[in-house]
Amino acid sequence: MEKKYTPLEIEKRLSTFWEKKGFFHASVDREKQPFSIILPPPNANGAMHLGHAMFVYEDIMIRYQKMQGKQVFWLLGLDHAGIETQFVFEKHLKKQGKSRFDYDRDTLYQMIWDFVMQNKHVIRGQMRQLGFSLDWTKEKFTLDENVVAVVYQTFQDLFDRQLVYRAHRLVNYCTHCGTSFSDIEVADKENEGLLYYLKYPLKTGGFITVATTRPETLYGDVAVMVHPQDKRYLHLIGERVILPLIHKEIPIIANEHVDRKFGTGAVKATPAHDFEDFAVAQTHKLSYPVIIGFDGKMQNTGVVDGLRVNAAREETLKKLDALHLVDKIQPHKLVIKVCYRCGRTLEPLPKEQWYIKIRPLADQAKRLITAGQISVYPKRFTKQLIRIFDDFIDWNISRQVVWGIRIPAYFCASQKKWFVSQKPPSKCQICAGQDAKQDEDTFDTWFSSAQWPFATLQTISPEFYQYYYPTSVMETGYEILRPWVARMIMIGYFSTKQVPFRKVFLHGMVRDKQGVKMSKSKGNVIDPLKMVALYGADALRAALIFGTKEGNDTVLPEDKIVGMRNFANKIWNIGRYIKSSQKSKIKSQKLDSTNLKILQQLQKEQKQLEKKYHTEMGKYHFAKALELIYQFLWHQLADYYIEQLKEAIRSGKIEALSALKKAYLENLKMLHPYMPFVTEAVWQVFHGEDKSIIENSIS
């Protein structure tokens, strides 16, 4: 046994060894209980980040259940990641002096496809470096032809059940990325803005002063609103004002949603560019002009057409000030909606999109949780999940990007109706003509990924689907409980009439030693592969789990990884001591009463440890289970029992050495799911390089 543990050499050999042995090659074995996890598919457009290293939780479960005698299946998948991948590719094009507008749809799609195919292999290699026990032979991609067919079938079923519909309403639109987003993809950002007090001339003479954060949208105003019980304005309700700069008459209306304490208590209504105002327009049956285009430029104003929003704001204020219609401007804190990809301010714009009628699906999903058909770990997230189902609004699933699954809906121009066809129709299914045109939009990526558990298994084989579905556990970060986990439950049950998974386990985010979320812009990111190169995969894996309460964020300073590297070295050194002691000349004389008592104490403590370990693993308390082994191996076995029995071992008493070896090897098996490389390497020292710790059950 080498004097020093060298993880890089050993890890590469063992990854190849496990794969060649096919330990995690899944099959159907009716004699065994199945245990399955579908990997949350990382984006196929780049390398792993530290968040992906949190998949170690899934590897722990898979290895533990494998050593419990179950038939395990951990499915590798990769996500086309719609807008995110197109955004990354567009940055790639920009470096070449190009943009998406330089290519037709099919050409751009093919270019992104080629880009993704070149990058897909990168993340596979990185997962192997971390020792992930995936079934590498059954990889799935969200754009696989048979997966897309499942997505199309789900959309067809929703359409047939009248749970998907087409509607013209306001959407959050990024004029830079060129697409709309649903509410889950919108980020709120606090901003130090300004509140503008503008004087609108009354038709009968005088002025009413409105408060607004967006003076540039006055060209789209259809009314001035006041609260129906605001005594300051009761005499003006029903009167008309003259819109400055464009001289258009609009009414003063009463609306109980107006906040009398905001500004002057009088606000402008611009339905085409404000969600609350849009609802007002529907109630009061007001028509409205669209004065901001999808290119982010002003239109239909006759004053600032062609200018972008900020420039239009400056020009509008300049013109209003010249007419003495700017009463005052005050600092004002506000929350703006920004694109989660590019960070730019989103525009509320009216657009016709496909929506899923969410309430029937959400209500059914909620019943699954309250009935205990799906258990959530940690349990505190159960209430949060129920609240998510209660708060869901109808889901916009249309995206104006090329990269993704194109919506299989067709418009009949003659009858002005839509129909769904999973394959390109030879003729219009409504009028039997040839003028049916397919929707240009693609599905929201969350819609296709909501079908991931059943879509992946169904496209392997019916036998695999029946055996491994519902899956055992869905493990992922708590931050996507709403956008992904909740949607998988809703769509999964709708399509299969079964829960997609029996348990949900949520981990937290990885933060630096100051508790700050890691990000490239802050410069506090830890590269997981760099840490593996420096300290070994086991050190990184264990550092992510050790001392981290389930569902809480993980604080990961580099010195914590160093500490786990030291633990790996300790494990190696204990094994080296026991192995070298076996070479000593063995004598058969009996142990004295003191040493016998120590051995009895060791055996008792080992049994208690094993019982506690399995209890904590059963509760999904992975950090507690790891700490039990850590404390025992380092502070009990190494610091106490070996020291107490050293003299007996030195004098050749085989019973003492055998007891230490047995306890040590049992702990290696329990530690293996967490630190697979060092435990496998030591196991093979004692049993031979063709033997694996994985083939031995955890007692």
Between CA 496 and CA 373 the distance in angstroms is 15
Helix, strand, or coil (residue 281): helix
Closest CA to 242 of 266, 218, 272, 265: 218
Q: Are 501 and 374 in contact (CB under 8 A)?
A: yes
Tokens matching residue 175: 């004029």
Closest CA to 401 of 444, 438, 436: 444
pLDDT, mean over the chain: 94
Tokens matching residue 548: 């981290």
Helix (H), strand (E) at residue 332: strand 326-339
Phi, psi of 534 (to 5 degrees): -80, -40
**Contacts of the segment 22-27: beta carbons below 8 A, 24+ positions apart:** 23/66, 23/133, 23/692, 23/694, 23/695, 24/62, 24/66, 24/72, 24/74, 24/133, 24/134, 24/135, 25/135, 25/137, 26/71, 26/72, 26/73, 26/74, 26/75, 26/135, 26/138, 26/464, 26/468, 27/71
Strands of 437-438's sheet in order across? 417-420, 409-412, 437-438
Q: Are 81 and 54 in contact (CB under 8 A)?
A: no
Between CA 270 and CA 217 the distance in angstroms is 7
Predicted confidence at residue 13, as pLDDT, reads 95
Predicted confidence at residue 47, as pLDDT, reads 72
From residue 227, how far is each of 198, 257, 398 by CA, in Å?
A: 18, 7, 36
From residue 85, how far is each of 485, 563, 634 by CA, in Å?
A: 21, 37, 46
User: Looking at the chain, which residues constitute the CATH 1.10.730.10 domain(s)?
Assistant: 553-695
Between CA 670 and CA 662 the distance in angstroms is 13
Name the stretches of the chain with pLDDT < 50.
none
Ramachandran assignment for 343, one of left (phi > 0), alpha (psi -120 to 50 degrees), beta (any other): left
* 553-695, CATH topology level: Isoleucyl-tRNA Synthetase; Domain 1 (1.10.730)
Give the DSSP letter string of 6-70: -HHHHHHHHHHHHHHHTTT-----TTS-EEEEE--PPBTTS---HHHHTTHHHHHHHHHHHTTT-
List the beta strands (DSSP E) in 79-226: 135-141, 164-174, 179-181, 186-201, 207-212, 223-226
List the beta strands (DSSP E) in 408-508: 409-412, 417-420, 437-438, 442-443, 471-477, 501-507
Exposed / middle / buried, residue 114 (Cβ in 10 Å: 0-12, 13-18, 19+)? exposed
Helix (H), strand (E) at residue 661: helix 654-671
Between CA 61 and CA 242 the distance in angstroms is 68
Residue linked to tokens 């008459």: 249
57-112 pLDDT, tens digit per residue, is 999 999 999 999 999 999 999 999 999 899 989 999 999 999 999 999 999 999 99
* Angle, helices 537-545/528-535, rounded to nearest 10 degrees: 120
Between CA 214 and CA 268 the distance in angstroms is 10
Q: Are 219 and 304 in contact (CB under 8 A)?
A: yes
CATH number attached to the domain at 183-347: 3.90.740.10
Strands 179-181 and 164-174: antiparallel
Strands of 501-507's sheet in order across? 135-141, 71-78, 34-38, 471-477, 501-507, 375-377
Residue 345's contacts (CB-CB under 8 Å, 6 or more residues apart) are 336, 337, 338, 339
Q: pTM for the whole thing? A: 0.93
Q: Are 242 and 201 in contact (CB under 8 A)?
A: yes
456-514 pLDDT, tens digit per residue, is 999 999 999 999 999 999 999 999 999 999 999 999 999 999 999 999 999 999 887 77
301-355 pLDDT, tens digit per residue, is 999 999 999 999 999 999 999 999 999 999 999 999 999 888 899 999 999 999 9
Between CA 402 and CA 104 the distance in angstroms is 10
Q: Are 241 and 252 in contact (CB under 8 A)?
A: yes
Number of H helices and E strands in the chain, helices first, is: 22, 24
List the beta strands (DSSP E) in 182-315: 186-201, 207-212, 223-226, 240-243, 248-254, 266-269
Beta bridge partners of 75: 38, 135
Q: Are 656 and 595 in contact (CB under 8 A)?
A: yes
Residue 512's contacts (CB-CB under 8 Å, 6 or more residues apart) are 518, 524, 526, 555, 556, 557
**Alpha helix locations (H) across 325-478?**
358-370, 381-391, 445-449, 452-458, 462-468
Q: Are 193 and 337 in contact (CB under 8 A)?
A: no
The number of beta carbons lying within 10 Å of the beta carbon of residue 228 is 13
Helix, strand, or coil (residue 219): helix
Q: Are 192 and 335 in contact (CB under 8 A)?
A: no
Predicted confidence at residue 118, as pLDDT, reads 86
User: Looking at the chain, which residues constitute the CATH 3.90.740.10 domain(s)?
Assistant: 183-347
Predicted confidence at residue 381, as pLDDT, reads 98
Residue 70's contacts (CB-CB under 8 Å, 6 or more residues apart) are 32, 33, 34, 35
Strands 554-555 and 510-511: parallel
Exposed / middle / buried, residue 578 (Cβ in 10 Å: 0-12, 13-18, 19+)? buried
